[in-house]
Amino acid sequence: MPLLEETGHIPTEKYAHAAELFAHARRIGEHYDLYARALFQTQVVDLRWDDAAAHWIAATDRGDAIRARWVLSASGPLNRPKLPGIPGIDGFKGHSFHTSRWDYAYTGGDSRGGMTGLADKRVAIIGTGATAIQCVPFTARDAAHLYVVQRTPSTVDVRGNRPTDMEWAKTLKPGWQRERMDNFNVLVSGQRAEVDLVHDGWTDLFRDMVSSWMPENPAALAPEELARLTELADFRKGNKIRARVDAIVANKETAEGLKPWYGMMCKRPTFHDDYLQAFNQPNVTLIDTQGRGLDRITENGIVFDGVEYPVDCIIFATGFESGTNYARRAAMEVHGRGGRRMTDHFADGMRTFHGFYTDGFPNFFMLGLSQNGFKPNVTDMLAEQAEHISSLIAAARSEGKTRIEATAEAVDAWVRTIREKSQRSRKFLATCTPGYYGGDGDIDQGLLIDTYGDGSIAFSMLLKAWRAAGDRAGLKVY
């Protein structure tokens, strides 16, 4: 959770639930007086650069025309819900919804459960990724019967949630959150730290996978030996995950279906203390399609291997689009100098300098994880990016400058750097089962393939050195 020290909030649990996260988002908005400056339930549908005025003009779905000198786009890579291409999906006569649009009017209850509307319902959840890991236990608790439709099993490690010790919290010194965030980032980058201040599933994962066996100087190892040791560490961690399934799930056939067989980082790792346990309930059935997916959806249910399972409700835990063009993901078209569309500019893939700016689109800044340094703690990553961009804008304004734009040469050079540094990731993802990390088989569209290959710590150092040089190399500021 970002800005805890600044807002004076201590989370009540190690992993806060939805209501507390939402309350904290509101707390941030109130603390910084953002509500008076925000337009809610309003969508930008078109953004055009006015070169003569050095302004952007944003058209909204409410008929507004908003002029802005600087535009920061933080629309996120995973925001447009994706439905599966299962034959018959349009013909289902029961109730259905996507998890990101949960229909509490139908289910009853709230994010803590109590979905009394499902008490007499047969429900199918399609998908077993990070979203399903969260919603399956609640739905299993409340539905008359739950079918969990699995294409590929997730890795599910211990979550270990617990209440915060408020006496311990009182001992924290100023700067404690920055220290924890930096410590976390070191550990999940596979580096060593004297102490693990966060000690969660992520830091345990990278300790098992990298830092527990990696020598002080990895370059001293031959590439083949480094690859061999990495694969062995991956296999050992995978065995722990598979052994946990056996220890929890009573039905052996179900347990076998829930065991991941692929490399640990082929898919997003998950952590939960109730997901696997849900499959011990008599009202829960795993439909393991072994990578094939359902045959079809009928008016009254779902079909796999010729067997129809009648259901009253289908819940799609099928994630979000990744790899689609920028305008579709951002739900707006961006027109730069000369009216050039961002869609056309990125037709052969994203082309940015440091992930933030691109040629032909002055004063337009992109926050996110493409072509820059990715941190699993995304709010920490976004804060670093926002500070970098805002300092750049502040400097330009103090000099009376009105435009900041990347040069085409800098963009081309940075794209080459990103491609060169992605080679190791590309080789690994080519061995993986399909998922959004690997673009569902099209590696060029993989969510993380376009990030800075040397990692977030190296990228932060690169940005720091770039700022210290003071010449703003790669940008035109005028």
Assess contact for 174 and 327: CB atoms under 8 A: no
| Residue 6 covered by a domain | no
**How confident is the model over 374-403, as a mean pLDDT?**
96
Q: pLDDT value at position 458? A: 96
In a domain, 247, yes or no: no
Neighbours of 416 (CB within 10 A): 10
Q: Which DSSP string do the residues of 390-449 spell out, in sequence order?
A: HHHHHHHHHTT---EEE-HHHHHHHHHHHHHHTHHHHHHHTTSPSSGGGGGG-GGG-SST
What range does the domain containing 208 cover? 175-223
Specify whether 398 is located in the same domain as 468. Answer: yes
In which band, very low, low, confident or very high, does the pLDDT at 221 lie, cut at 50, 70 and 90? confident
For residue 18, count other CB atoms closer than 10 A to its CB. 11
Give me the number of domains the chain comprises: 3
pLDDT level of residue 315 (50, 70, 90 thresholds)? very high
Rounded distance between C-alpha atoms, residue 352 and residue 171, angstroms: 44
Q: In angstroms, rounded to a whole number, what is the distance separating the alpha carbons of residues 330 and 77?
A: 8
> 97 lies in a domain?
yes
Same domain, 186 and 52: no
Q: pLDDT by residue (tens digit) across 57-94?
A: 999 999 999 999 999 999 887 888 999 999 999 999 99
Is 325's pLDDT higher than 80? no
Would you state the pLDDT for residue 218? 79
User: Backbone phi, then psi, for 106, in 5-degree steps?
Assistant: -90, -45
Pairing state of beta strands 145-150 and 122-126?
parallel
pLDDT for 444: 79
- Lowest-pLDDT range of 211-220, 277-286, 350-359: 211-220
Q: Are residues 354 and 428 in the same domain?
A: yes
Answer yes or no: is pLDDT of 318 > 80. yes
Helix (H) / strand (E) containing 453: none
Which residues make Cβ contacts (< 8 Å) with residue 35, sequence separation at least 6? 29
Are 356 and 448 within one domain? yes
Do 375 and 285 lie in a common domain? Answer: no
Q: Tell me what pLDDT residue 287 has.
A: 98
Residues 338, 428: one domain? yes
Share of the chain above pLDDT 90, in %: 83
19 assigned to some structural domain: no
Q: What residue ranges in 176-227 does DSSP mark as E strands? A: none
What is the pLDDT at residue 227? 85
The candidate with the shortest Cα–Cα distance to 303, out of 294, 312, 311, is: 294
**Per-residue confidence (pLDDT) for residue 80, from 0 to 100:** 86
| 350 and 390 both lie in a single domain | yes
**Does 362 lie in the same domain as 311?**
no
| Cβ-contact 81, 131 below 8 angstroms | no
Q: Residues 103-152: pLDDT tens digits? A: 999 999 998 899 999 999 999 999 999 999 999 999 999 999 999 999 99
- Backbone φ and ψ for 187, nearest 5 degrees, come out as -70, -40
**Contacts for 442 with CB less than 8 Å, ≥ 6 apart:** 323
Q: Check: CB of residue 14 under 8 Å from CB of residue 160.
A: yes
Specify the pairing of strand 44-50 against strand 55-60: antiparallel
Which of 262, 223, 226 shows the shortest CA–CA distance to 429?
Answer: 262
Average pLDDT over every residue of 22-48: 96
Residues 150 and 290 in one domain: yes
| H or E segment and range at residue 464 | helix 456-469
Check whether residue 464 and residue 337 sit in a common domain: yes
Residue 116's contacts (CB-CB under 8 Å, 6 or more residues apart) are: 108, 109, 142
Span 397-406, average pLDDT: 97
pLDDT at 345 over 90: yes
* CATH code: domain of residue 308: 3.50.50.60
pLDDT of residue 441: 75
How high is the pLDDT of residue 262?
A: 92
Residues 349 and 376 in one domain: yes
> What confidence tier does 360 reach under pLDDT thresholds 50, 70, 90?
very high
For residue 160, tell me if it sits in a domain. Answer: no
Does residue 12 form part of some domain? no
In-domain check, residue 229: no
- Domain membership flag for residue 436: yes
Q: Over the chain, what is the mean pLDDT?
A: 94
Model pLDDT for residues 200-217, shown as the tens digit of each residue: 999 999 999 988 888 877
Out of 243-247, 345-349, 361-365, pick the least confident.
345-349
pLDDT for res 442: 79
- Amino acid 330: pLDDT: 81
Strands 301-304 and 307-310: antiparallel
| 139 and 285 housed in the same domain | yes
3-state DSSP assignment of residue 301: strand
Among 316, 348, 381, the domain-final residue is 316
Q: Is the pLDDT of residue 269 over 80?
A: yes
pTM of the model: 0.92
